[in-house]
Amino acid sequence: QGNMAFAGKYEFEGDENYDDFVKKIGLPSDKVEMGRNCKIVTEVAQNGNDFTWTQHFPGGRTTTNTFTIGKEADMETMGGKKFKATVKMEDGKIVADFPNYRHTAEICGGKLVEVSSHISRLVYKEQTKPQE
């Protein structure tokens, strides 16, 4: 399994496509503004496959998720929604499926790089056959 060392304290450096992403996941506008360019500090404690992932937001609010790779865990989104997820390790990346997006994290050049991508879901219904 993954032997990537994630433990450390990381300060927010920059984001890409933030507005597009938060709109897609339906983050309330007060949380959107709060998250924009805010100096979030992410602290990761790792013991083998056990992780404690804490995000410190300006103003003293924190979100902490504790999980073990491959086991279902109770998680919380940055918007405060509670959900269950099984966090996996894929190609040295931590991967978790949040309610409306997939989140990956990896260490790249000594930096913690987190990518959240919107999962689109297409639903098709059976077409009714024309009456003859």
pTM above 0.75, yes or no: no
pLDDT at residue 2 greater than cutoff 60: no
Is the pLDDT score of 27 beyond 70?
yes
In sequence order, which residues have a C-beta less than 8 Å from that of residue 79 and are 6 or more positions away?
25, 27, 28, 31
Share of the chain above pLDDT 90, in %: 30
Query: 89-119: b or e for each residue (b if 16 or more CB lie within 10 Å)?
Result: eeeebbbbebebbebbbbbeeeebebebeee
Q: Which domains are seen in the chain, by residue range? A: 8-118 (2.40.128.20)
